[in-house]
Structure 1
């Protein structure tokens, strides 16, 4: 691990080990000290990979045994935590109970899914044979706005640099919009023409009409969706509104 990547706020917490000469350590002792430093920040440089893999790779049949093994591993790093209750808490209570890594990258990968609405869709079985109906659920997606338990634990220590903030709204987006990475806002043709090409999109605009109006339209100007739902096909003008997905940041 490079010296310049070590979080400055934990330098003073290491006693018999000179934090600026961490390269002189070897094996699990070095990995233990690196884990203490890397877990203190939501920004994880690539050099943290081996230490974090070693730490979260500690396993046992029972969770209590995992905690014991983690505590033993972390205590390989010769920190002077007996004189510092906060450091002892960070090492022996907070870190050992993490159920996963906490980083802005991992938080921004936690996609939450919910049912936006449920519609009953009916289709005709033919003349005189009635119709068949079924309930169809439509889902919405967003980046989860809640911190994980690990992030809450880490943010509670004075030896960490966790000042996490959620910068997106709490809206759930339709699956199609979420997959596309943008939603469509209907606008006038005049505004549409003034937009950059990258922000424009044309598409079908379905206007509800009566059955009488429906049968009078040519086939390419009308559409039926579901049972007794009739529409006129118009041209819609839309602006692409990018869906922000890098919602979590760490405020300095």
Structure 2
């Protein structure tokens, strides 16, 4: 009876799944309940606060070797009695969710900061705040046998620019593309590296 109930819920539309997510509290207990809730909660972009225990339990499964972590997380998800008839659901549990290194949330993706160093040339007046390794021509140089004071000489410097990584991890992409998830993540910045004064840190939104 439990297998039929869980399978039918997970195979229906995801909005219906989340509307009926309380089935676990009535039918299941312990890690079995948490496993079913984790499947639901990891797969939706409209995650209620009640998901916190199952998410914490899932990502709390960790071993020295990543292969052991994957196996243990897969075993945990398979505690949910969904049956083996639904191939798409089996792929979601055993291949997509079990390979998630982190939770695919906008808040996490926005912590994936990339930095790149650029070598620049220009006038001294163009050097931005925060520039490094600044080298300028001597401000006193000879021009037609006369000493000339050049207050805005040519310079070289380096700039460290940043951006939020615009590329989804493969496991997040796989999650978004699965037919049983409604997870949507959008990158709302351009992919240019920016100076600190121009750098936007909230590029990913759900």
For normalisation by structure 1, the TM-score amounts to: 0.57
Q: 1:59 to 1:98 in 2, by over 3 A?
A: same
Structure 2 CA distance for aligned equivalents of residues 84 and 107 of structure 1: 31
Q: Deviations over 1:140-193 (max 9, x none)?
A: 122221111221121231111123222212222212343xxxxxxxxxxxxxxx
Structure 1 CA distance for aligned equivalents of residues 64 and 164 of structure 2: 32
Structure 1 CA distance for aligned equivalents of residues 164 and 135 of structure 2: 30
Structure 1 CA distance for aligned equivalents of residues 37 and 198 of structure 2: 41
Q: Which residue of 2 aligns with 1:168?
A: 189
Structure 1 CA distance for aligned equivalents of residues 197 and 188 of structure 2: 22
Q: 1:12 to 1:44 in 2, by over 3 A?
A: closer
Q: Which segments of 5 or more consecutive residues in structure 2 lack a partner in the other structure? A: 1-8, 122-133, 139-155
How many residues are paired up?
167
Q: Which residue of 1 aligns with 2:13?
A: 9
Within-5 A mapping of 1:4-83: 9-10=13-14, 19-24=21-26, 25-80=28-83, 82-83=84-85
The structure with the largest alpha-carbon Rg is: 1
For normalisation by structure 2, the TM-score amounts to: 0.68
Structure 1 CA distance for aligned equivalents of residues 183 and 87 of structure 2: 19
Q: Do the aligned partners of 2:21 and 2:40 also contact (CA within 8 Å) in 1?
A: no
Q: Do the aligned partners of 2:43 and 2:181 also contact (CA within 8 Å) in 1?
A: yes
Structure 2 CA distance for aligned equivalents of residues 175 and 10 of structure 1: 40
Q: 1:74 to 1:158 in 2, by over 3 A?
A: same
Q: Which residue of 2 aligns with 1:142?
A: 163
Q: 1:12 to 1:45 in 2, by over 3 A?
A: closer
Q: 1:248 to 1:26 in 2, by over 3 A?
A: same
Q: Which residue of 2 aligns with 1:89?
A: 91
Q: Do the aligned partners of 2:14 and 2:182 also contact (CA within 8 Å) in 1?
A: no
Structure 1 CA distance for aligned equivalents of residues 174 and 180 of structure 2: 12
Q: Deviations over 1:102-147 (max 9, x none)?
A: 01222223222112335652598xxxxxxxxxx8531112222111
> CA shift at 1:62, angstroms?
2.4
Q: Do the aligned partners of 1:42 and 1:102 also contact (CA within 8 Å) in 2?
A: no
Deviating more after overlay: 24-33 vs 107-116: 107-116
